[in-house]
Structure 1
Amino acid sequence: MLSSRSDGPAFPTVHRTAVLRLEQGRAEACVDHVIEEVPVALVYNRISHAVMLASPETLDDLGLGFSLSEGILAGPDELFDIAVKEGCDGLEVHMEIPLERFTALKDRRRSMTARTGCGLCGVEKLEAVARVKGRVTRGAPVPAAVVARALADFAEHQHLHRLTGAVHGVAWVDRAGIIKAIREDVGRHNALDKLIGWMARSGADPTDGFVLTSSRASFEMVQKAAVAGIGCLVAISAPTALAVRLAEGCGLTLAGFARDQRVVVYSHPGHFVV
């Protein structure tokens, strides 16, 4: 399995700061935690491809997950080496990839005027937006009750959100409703990329469970999940119409408004059983 390394001092993930809390007519000086947000450059074969703002942890997962969900690499075995280094104004994730993949990436960059990690910036043609090819495999149906079980444990696993209240959490949940891994970041796309990177490293079967996200279900979230072969995405908030259409077309089960004992399924509802 591919290992990663870091050079130089690690950036802190959270920062303690003095605040004045005003509540019920009282003022209290105290200390609070805020999430760190640093520029992260994704560098392929010594050429920078994307710079985004991200939380400075599990950046090896971010690099691999982004490479897979953006279609830069076809599989984790194509990532020959990865190292996180400190740059002048942030962090750099250096990756070594095959020459043919790098050549394709350079051709792709020529048509891009900007890049933020959202998956859409700089795309010239609408048909180039959707990178999903074919249909995903969903696996066996999942009892709807397991979503409620995962939701009950979701907050407990989001340690950065408990400290700061300013990050998204994306979790991989098995068919029993047990959260197997979670990744957090200031950007929901970054958190999903980090989780996809973890799944690729650990060999998790993307058909044997579902992704649970604290964010809304945008088109980009559905697209990244589908490219990674994930068959089911459950969001605490609402989906967009474009996300629903993409999910319906590629075979992904998309659910939203997952709260307490409720979940609303927008595409391929047969994946859940009561």
Structure 2
Amino acid sequence: MRRETDRTMDFLDEYRLRPDPADPRLSVAVTGVNEAGEPVETRVTVERALTLFLNSREIVTMMTIGDHPEYLALGYLLNQNMLRPETPVTGIDYDDDLGVVVVRTEAETDFEEKLRKRTQTSGCAQGTIFGDLMDVIENARLPATPLRTSWLYALTHKINQTPSLYLESGAIHGCVLAREDRPLVYMEDVGRHNAVDKIAGYMQHHAIDPADKIFYTTGRLTSEMVIKTVRMGIPVLVSRSGFTAWGVELARKAGLTLIGRARGKRFVALAGAGRLIFDQDLAYVPDEGARHRRKGARAAEDAE
């Protein structure tokens, strides 16, 4: 595996990984009627089944939009603690017609034992964590990376201005790997955990150093999201959505900086707040456009 440098991880280069909103394989036009009984055409996100094998053992069938199956498979196995980062992967084979991806390794694994111990999480489509889910939290050694609020505002603004499948057809989550205020890798999928796993697989394949990175998600900051971010070694997790109590508790135990409800000028830090550097004058931060706000967020703001 090669080590990516900051020079090669360029915003314009790596952002090509995001799903193309115009790709007909990822969304389709559907005709219906609106609230006035008028005919309308809208685009809806496509989802398809992907079955993952580790060597000859079938592990799981996931519903996904179908892009980057190799990154998704590798990241899933890493984030579910079924492969360790140091485990040599000898190959990843994908068959589009069958909807099957096979990750091959010659190293001994204990995935059979992990499969017997599983925890259903709050993830989309019944996310699952295999093995002892607290191991990663108890053994976490995340760097105390500072976060400038100027980076945070610039980052969320850039993400909101990027064409996406979410804006085209909705019903999808996005995740972004960033450094300071610079988005590096953008992934989307119907399940937020799938989008996370794609980035985890990308980081593993390209040997990306997580120590100075920021992870952004449109999904809720649940225990599963926190555990996966900590497992990837990323010290900062940001979301436009809210928190769960256990997600906050685990973030504090692991030393993860946890920021939620990041919309426009607003955000709330419930873990790692001491690492924030408040260097941004809020008078120069634009409000989030209505196109990027979810209905619940708009209603809450209109009520204030």
TM-score (norm 2): 0.76
Q: Is the 8 A contact 2:188 2:195 kept in 1?
A: yes
Instruction: After TM superposition, list the pairs within 5 Å mapping 1:14-25 onto structure 2.
Output: 14-22=26-34, 25=36
Q: Report deviation, 1:219.
A: 0.4
Which residue number corresponds to residue 172 of structure 1? 177
Which residue number corresponds to residue 237 of structure 2? 233
Secondary structure (helix, strand or coil) at the match of 1:211 reads: strand
Which residue number corresponds to residue 85 of structure 1? 95
Q: Is the 8 A contact 2:75 2:198 kept in 1?
A: yes
Q: Which amino acid aligns with 2:156?
A: L
Partners of 1:268 and 1:113 lie apart in 2 by: 27
Q: Is the 8 A contact 1:216 1:238 kept in 2?
A: yes
Q: Is the 8 A contact 2:120 2:129 kept in 1?
A: no
Unaligned runs of 5+ in 2: 3-22, 279-304
Q: Report deviation, 1:156.
A: 3.4
Which residue number corresponds to residue 111 of structure 2? 105
Partners of 1:206 and 1:114 lie apart in 2 by: 27
1:226-267 per-residue CA deviation (whole Å, 9 max, x = no partner) reads 011111101111111001111111111111111112221111
Which residue number corresponds to residue 288 of structure 2? none
Which residue number corresponds to residue 138 of structure 1? 143
1:52-80 per-residue CA deviation (whole Å, 9 max, x = no partner) reads 21220111111111111111121165222
1:118 to 127, 150, 164: 127
Structure 1 runs (4+) deviating above 3 angstroms are 110-117
Indicate how the Cα distance of structure 1 residues 158 and 270 shifts in structure 2: closer, same or farther if over 3 A, else same.
farther
Partners of 2:61 and 2:28 lie apart in 1 by: 26
Partners of 2:90 and 2:24 lie apart in 1 by: 27
Q: Report deviation, 1:209.
A: 2.2
Secondary structure (helix, strand or coil) at the match of 2:242 reads: coil
Which residue number corresponds to residue 33 of structure 1? 43
Identity across matched positions, percent: 26
Partners of 1:161 and 1:36 lie apart in 2 by: 12
Aligned residue pairs total 254
Which residue number corresponds to residue 7 of structure 1? none
Q: Does 1:44 align with 2:54?
A: yes
Q: Report deviation, 1:92.
A: 1.2
TM-score (norm 1): 0.84
1:194 to 190, 193, 198: 198
Q: Report deviation, 1:105.
A: 0.8
Partners of 2:128 and 2:168 lie apart in 1 by: 29
Unaligned runs of 5+ in 1: 3-10
Partners of 1:192 and 1:105 lie apart in 2 by: 21
Indicate how the Cα distance of structure 1 residues 76 and 166 shifts in structure 2: closer, same or farther if over 3 A, else same.
farther
Q: Does 1:149 align with 2:154?
A: yes
Indicate how the Cα distance of structure 1 residues 237 and 106 shifts in structure 2: closer, same or farther if over 3 A, else same.
same
Indicate how the Cα distance of structure 1 residues 158 and 106 shifts in structure 2: closer, same or farther if over 3 A, else same.
farther
Partners of 2:66 and 2:114 lie apart in 1 by: 27
